[in-house]
Amino acid sequence: MAETRKNDVLLEVKDLKVHFQMNEGLLKAVDGVDLTVREGRTLGIVGESGCGKSVTNQALIGIVPHPGVVTGQILLHKKRGVALEKPIDIVKLPRNGKEIRSIRGGDIGMIFQEPMKAFSPVHTIANQLCEGIMLHVEPNKKKAWDIALHALEQVGVNNPRQRMNEYPHQLSGGMRQRAMIAMALSCNPAILIADEPTTALDVTMQAQVLKLMNDLKREFNSAVIFITHDLGVIAEMSDDVAVMYLGRVVEYTDVDTLFHNPKHPYTIALLQSIPSVTRKAKSELEVIEGTVPYPMNMKPGCGFYSRCKKRVDGLCNVQDVPLVDIGNGHKVRCMLDEARRP
């Protein structure tokens, strides 16, 4: 992993926890996540559904739903490209305060996974795009309209002038997704969070959207946090990768190391479960048996213990496993690493 220089850091996440107090007990959706987001780089976050990826990124912009409690630190080091004398801790900001509202959309943009839920059903696409642009970029309504129209054109929306005056329910799923992407890109955020942004798009449009995100990153030296299940997209888009499992980062390294020298059994299993051109014809793909455990009232030990083919009883299920740097910024949360064996 490339060496982190302090002046490159846009956002630091330290010991982030998001817990929900339920009637059955304490649900630990995110349980001690550390991440670093740097200018001009893409951080890929990968893992199965239920691993805490989306909740982590909800915490970054202060939209964790009730009764979620967020602790730890989310330190924003630059605002609109200008270094701050003292970083802003997003965790401490009031959810509906003026400061967090200036950060949402302006400094940190987000492409939500389900645009039908993210868009207001009673406002036109133009109203929703222009609102953010007028708040963060251009207060003039006519100029904001032009910026919004250009954003829709960039993401390949057909007949964008007509779409501007339509409501979300009048658009197809793919068109809504493109409009959501346009809304996030239109304010040129320093950090763009993309939560499965190409799920509803065809292959051609996926390539176009990924290119748009890379162009934004190069033009404005911004950063991208890319959440996906698609390891092929991770290989194409990411500079650094965090593999999450059960609310924790289990492996963190640069993208080349992840694909050529993975260390955590979960990462290895994920890579073995994807098709490969070198795989023998008609051979079966590897399967990760079981499902992600429900993150409530968890016992001590490795969260992947119940599904790991390499687990060692009395070693992996005795105590919580810390995330350890094994060299060159490659961090792994596994007791099977040679340096940790008793």
User: CATH code at 96?
Assistant: 3.40.50.300
CA distance 216 to 130: 19
Residue 89 lies in a domain: yes
Both 86 and 226 in a single domain? yes
Q: What is the pLDDT of residue 238?
A: 93
The pTM assigned to this predicted structure is 0.88
Give the count of beta carbons closer than 10 Å to the beta carbon of residue 73: 15
Count helices and strands (H / E) in the chain.
Answer: 11, 12
Contact yes or no for 250/235 (Cβ under 8 A): no
The last residue of a domain, from among 128, 158, 188: 188
Q: How many domains does the chain have?
A: 2
Identify whether residues 89 and 14 lie together within a single domain.
yes
Instruction: Verify that 97 and 171 share a domain, yes or no.
Output: no
In a domain, 13, yes or no: yes
Exposure b/e, 197-234, CB count within 10 A at least 16 = b: bbebbeeebbebbbebbeebbeeeebbbbbbbebbebb
Asked whether the beta carbons of 222 and 188 are under 8 A apart, the reply is yes
* Same domain flag for 167 and 45: no
The range of the structural domain enclosing residue 197 comes to 6-107+190-276+283-292
Beta strands in the chain (DSSP E): 9-22, 25-38, 42-46, 68-79, 82-89, 108-111, 191-195, 223-228, 240-245, 248-254, 324-325, 331-332
Q: Beta strand 42-46 with 25-38: parallel, antiparallel or unpaired?
A: unpaired
pLDDT confidence of residue 276: 73
Q: What residue type is 175 in one-letter code?
A: M
In this prediction, residue 18 carries a pLDDT of: 96
Distance, CA of 235 to CA of 175 (rounded, Å): 26
- Residues with pLDDT less than 50, the chain: 2-4, 339, 342
Strands 223-228 and 42-46: parallel
